[in-house]
Structure 1
């Protein structure tokens, strides 16, 4: 482990890890080595989900499951995880193969979001659930606001708009897929019958559908 990485890990997690290997692996892309972040991402995703669900359950004791689910889904998306990775300074420590570097993998929400979850998994293995909980709560911070209204997902909002105006349900079609395997770009077009249409691009199909729904809502004034 380099001195720069050791310093960054100590600053990020509050102390230097006793076993640096999982953290090095959490920062390693599949283009660089077979021992990459994917298994740790699998673990970290579940740890993050448990911590976030517990946190929301505590913060919003009067909200029903549906509202809690809206909050949860808005807080654990790939773009949110990627944004936190950027804030923490993950990018300079990524281990990428040459082609992935050339393709801009260090800017990819897919890669950064996965690495963020892998780092949570590594910290969980290193220090346990309480420490992982403390890290997630500090990293997500004000994103989980006790006084905030649960966000309405754009796709649900568009579905409700169509129903309220006696229109056909929104129809989503992937109209284009481009980019390398590790950083794909999906373009989705959403239509409501012959009334209106909008397109948007995202790092995955779900992200593109959400962006398209938001764009169409803006058109409709919804």
Structure 2
């Protein structure tokens, strides 16, 4: 039975142009235990012959990456699962791109992760500040503090709401909008101290939850999924 890689030429003989056109890395474990690595256009299609390299043994992920790097290529995603071949042996495929593209992508991912971490720290910081202002308001303080409180809570709740929306934590936004409206300094809502005190504590508790739940550090899996 003929396979699409049967007419492949040695991988080391591929020109730079041919290597640039490769989009797929194929790992073949033959029935006799020999292993081949084939670089080709998508599933062997196209006018350029694929390149093949005989390997002494089945390589692991890191060894595959080192081999591909020798030819200026890198795995775009982990290789797919093994599939059995009709006449024995097995085969698996993986998409590849240039090492330059892989490097640019890695830099972009790192920058995005750093940006999200900065957003997370800002969210935690402003939420803690807002909660602290509200807890302090439960003590008997000068009237001027309560005027300042409206501005402080409005600003911190607004910033926290924006950051939650940016981080796709939209379920927290409604509560933050309600806090910003209730403490807004533009159209003040006048309530008695007996009413404000439990509201202060509830809002402070909500902002504390935002600080330590909505702003918790993302797992690596969550960060990768966002990219």
**Shared fold, TM over 0.5:** no
Q: What TM-score comes out, normalization by structure 1 length?
A: 0.25
Q: Could you say which structure has the larger radius of gyration?
A: 2
| Higher helix residue share | 1
Q: What TM-score comes out, normalization by structure 2 length?
A: 0.24
| Higher strand residue share | 2
